[in-house]
């Protein structure tokens, strides 16, 4: 089982995860473009139960273009975007890769919401891309994201 840690720039919010990521993605939706300053958001998706947090984050709630209720958490002191989630998959949480203590091992498994990406967003030709959300498949061995 993988284990990793991270947190915000000022170290007020910290987290520890005991799980293999369910997915490693680049999200190109307009909401992610806003919170990233214009680029895609590179994220890992993990089971909510695998995340242990310390510190208190601020939460912003909105409705996605799909109509799903979504939330994004950030540090109230330094503003670092930390986590995201949605009502459709409350058992999963998205962690922003920039908050990992060691982001060097991140490798994109897919690009999502390419329909919203401006032409200057970069993608790798050998990495699958989806115009909107990928599918989340449940099986006896657990959940996974497919394109």
Residue 143 has pLDDT above 70, yes or no: no
Q: What is the mean pLDDT of residues 61-86?
A: 94
Q: Are 53 and 13 in contact (CB under 8 A)?
A: yes
What value does the CA radius of gyration of the chain take, rounded to a whole number of Å?
15
- Give the pLDDT confidence of 89-115 residue by residue, as tens digits: 999 999 999 999 999 989 999 999 999
pLDDT class of 138 with cuts at 50, 70, 90: low
Domains of the chain: 3-119 (2.170.150.70)
Which of 97 and 66 is assigned the larger pLDDT? 97
> What is the per-residue pLDDT for 135?
73
């Amino acid at each position: 089982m993988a284990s990793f840690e991270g947190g915000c720039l000022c170290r007020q919010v910290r987290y520890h995860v005991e799980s293999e990521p369910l997915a490693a993605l680049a999200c190109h939706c307009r909401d992610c473009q806003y919170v990233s300053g214009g680029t895609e958001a590179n994220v890992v998706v993990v089971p909510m139960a695998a995340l242990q947090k310390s510190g208190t984050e601020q939460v912003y709630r909105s409705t996605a273009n799909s109509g799903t209720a979504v939330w994004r958490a950030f540090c109230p002191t330094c503003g670092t975007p930390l986590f995201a989630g949605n009502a459709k998959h409350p058992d999963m949480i998205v962690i922003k890769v920039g908050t990992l203590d060691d982001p060097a091992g991140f490798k994109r498994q897919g690009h999502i919401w390419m329909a919203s990406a401006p032409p200057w967003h970069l993608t790798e030709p050998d990495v699958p891309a989806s115009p909107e959300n990928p599918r989340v498949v449940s099986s006896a061995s657990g959940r996974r994201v497919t394109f």
